[in-house]
Chains A and B, each alone.
Chain A
Amino acid sequence: MTAVLEARHLSKTFPARDGKGVVRAVNDVSITVGEGETLGIVGESGCGKSTLARMLLRLIEPTSGEILFLGEDLLALGPSGMRARRRDIQIVFQDPYASLDPRMSVAQIIAEPLDIHGIGSRAERREKVRALLDLVGLDQGAGGRYPHEFSGGQRQRIGIARAIALEPKLLVLDEPVSALDVSIQAQIINLLDDLKGRMNLSYVFISHDLSVVQHVSDRVLVMYLGRVVELGPAQQVLEAPLHPYTQALVSAVPEIDPQQRKARIILPGDPPNPEHIPPGCAFHPRCPKAIGICKTDMPVARNGETHSAACHLL
């Protein structure tokens, strides 16, 4: 499988609020996205998943690391080179209410990337907008209307149309269905699935919802406090997790079918503040299985039978 995107040892630190320390939002994360692949990224608030997503497009500049897009080093590109490359890497945000300009008509919103990149004549762009509306399941009349006239699910369709207008190769989807009701969520997931096949897209799909991630992803990466704790094929990671954090996460999801219900592992406390990441394994203060070494030594990723996890107990 050819890699569309390869990020190596990405880190991002922000200055802490007190002005003295640093917040390690993302810490030495490496990912690969194959052509036509969906890589799911899961984790809870503050785990660094959204920072990671934004770094992939250089919406946030990494503190260190490397990002290769089809072999080209993105971090070596100047502003105009990066702008040109963004044709190929686009992002869809969680909140379609906040990410669409309320003063622009839907047709203008969808045409904006085409205008910026100077693609086609005016008539061709108009035709392209028509085709995009059709592709994302909006009727032609939608083009002349404004974002506030649409429901959440329809707004997310608008955001997706804008993101695919330039026919990118990679879409970063940051919680694309988290703000939507479950019946609408299914519509959008199906749409993303259709588009992926039709346009030969690869996805980085970020979500806190494990069932959504399991449904859409080929491989899944689990983050905790800025680091990757587990990585592997979606089914293996979410059905036979190796890391105690993933195990707790999976067990915590409320389950409708009593027969599918797993023994719940309830983690004590809250995830620590990323300004004060515990030494050793960052998960050890909450880990039900922690042993001596977990408090002092940081675990490196080890391969299990099916996939890898960063845990001393493997």
Chain B
Amino acid sequence: MNDGALLDVDGLTVGFNTEHGFIRVVEDVSFAIAPGETLGLVGESGCGKSVTAQTVMRLLPSPPSRIDAGRILFDGENLAAVPERRMRRIRGDRIGMVFQEPMTSLNPTQRIGAQIAEPLMLHRAMGHAAARAEARRVLEQVGIGNAERRLDQYPHELSGGLRQRVMIAMAIICGPKLLIADEPTTALDVTIQAQIMALLQQLQKDLGLAILLITHDLGMVAELCRTIAVMYAGRIVETGPASAVFKGPRHPYTAGLLASSPRRVSKGERLPSIPGLVPPPGLRGIGCSFADRCSRVTERCRTELPRLAAVESHAAACWNPVS
């Protein structure tokens, strides 16, 4: 329990009912975000970062998904235990969401203005005209020029970058305390990504938003987040101040990820790569899930699960951390 945290996820375990029984994809994940802070949850495909984010929002259908253990305390309320009815009041109001692909999250048959205004009419019982005026104001806030005209356009008439700004406008229109951004720039070109990153930073400053950023891009975490949590095979394997983790990664997986970035290796030299593949959920064994790919593996790694433990400036879950 972290006093003063806006979001405090504690021991979260999430799984799915499958034909092979209940399979856990997120295991014993804990992290906390203070008001106005940014936490980057990073990892590669299948590591459980998006399932974690969607569970915080309670967006996964249950069944087949199920929260097996843990709490999700948001502003003191355990979201893991609240009924859907209650969750609907929180989603889009006190917690905003932005996803990777704005085209699939926006309704293609509805004008932008109506979509942005909807949370206000839903959560604030605001009238049509007032909500439209507010929608216009928020569009300007997210840097969309010609807002009045944009309100009457459809999503397909906008570029990918503008659509993502519309998503952000929808997410913040009710003045949430927390924004969950799941790969918000992954589908965008790098110059547009730079615009969206700058916008998120600006909004955070202006609105005092806390942000949970889900991404595979370590550079983005380094620029936007004070705290990082690195996930591998469903667990957080390293966490702490982003600057400390980047400067001195202690988990061999984090170290391997950082080293394999082609930016750090000059041409002609081989890229350090992590051999092998991520074990699929259900086949992760009893020890450390990274053991089979790890160059620092010891006997203990295969039999006993390492827990997050302090390593000077931050924490890593490793029996033989990089020094």
Contact = CB atoms under 8 A, between A and B. Distances in A.
A252 B191 contact: yes
Given A183-B274, A211-B263, A253 B189 contact: no
Interface residues of A, number: 43
Contacts of B256: 183
Contacts of A187: 273-275
Interface in B155-204: 159-162, 189-195, 197-198
B267 A270 contact: no
Interface in A206-248: 208, 210-212, 214-218, 234-235, 248
Given A184-B273, A211-B262, 18 more contacts: A182-B261, A185-B262, A190-B270, A190-B273, A193-B270, A208-B189, A208-B190, A214-B267, A217-B267, A235-B267, A249-B190, A252-B194, A254-B197, A254-B220, A266-B191, A267-B194, A270-B159, A270-B192
Interface in B210-224: 216-220, 222-223
Contacts of B261: 182, 211, 256
B260 A256 contact: no
B258 interface: yes
B219 A253 contact: yes
10 interchain residue pairs of minimum CB distance: A254-B219, A186-B273, A215-B262, A181-B44, A44-B189, A252-B194, A186-B260, A211-B263, A186-B271, A183-B274
Contact of B260 (A183, A218, A248, A254): A183
Contacts of A251: 194
Contacts of A186: 260, 262, 271-274
B219 A214 contact: no
A282 to B, nearest CB: 14
Interface string B225-252: 0000000000000000001001000000
B273 A214 contact: no
A210 B190 contact: yes
Contact of A254 (B223, B266, B275): B223
A154 B267 CA distance: 24
A183 B274 CA distance: 6
Contacts of A270: 159-162, 192
28 contacts: A151-B277, A154-B277, A181-B216, A182-B257, A182-B261, A183-B260, A183-B273, A184-B273, A184-B277, A186-B260, A186-B272, A186-B273, A187-B274, A189-B271, A212-B262, A214-B267, A215-B271, A216-B262, A234-B267, A251-B194, A255-B223, A256-B219, A256-B263, A266-B191, A267-B191, A270-B159, A270-B160, A270-B192
A124 interface: no
Nearest to B219: A254
A264 interface: yes
B195 A266 contact: yes
A253 B257 contact: no
A46 to B, nearest CB: 9
B219 A255 contact: yes
B45 interface: yes
A198 to B, nearest CB: 14
A189 B262 contact: yes
B265 interface: yes
A258 interface: yes
A285 interface: no
B125 to A, nearest CB: 36
Contacts of A266: 191, 194-195, 198
A305 interface: no
Contacts of A248: 191
Contacts of A210: 190
A150 B294 CA distance: 21
Interface of A: 44-45, 151-154, 181-187, 189-190, 193, 208, 210-212, 214-218, 234-235, 248-249, 251-258, 261, 264, 266-267, 270-271
A256 B161 CA distance: 23
A266 B190 CA distance: 10
A253 B197 CA distance: 11
Interface SS of chain A: helix, strand, loop or mixed? Answer: helix
Nearest to A253: B190
A184 B258 CA distance: 13
Nearest to A265: B194
A278 B92 CA distance: 40
Contacts of A45: 189
Nearest to B159: A270
B53 to A, nearest CB: 18
Nearest to A187: B273
Nearest to B247: A257
A44 B185 CA distance: 14
Nearest to A183: B274
Most buried by A among B45, B256, B275: B45
B273 A215 contact: no
A218 B219 CA distance: 25
Given A248-B191, A252-B190, A215 B265 contact: yes
B262 A254 contact: no
A181 B45 contact: yes
A255 B221 CA distance: 9
Contacts of A255: 219, 222-223, 263
A190 B271 CA distance: 6
Contacts of B45: 152, 181
A187 B256 CA distance: 12
B323 to A, nearest CB: 20
Contacts of A267: 191, 194-195
A254 B217 contact: yes
Contacts of B197: 254
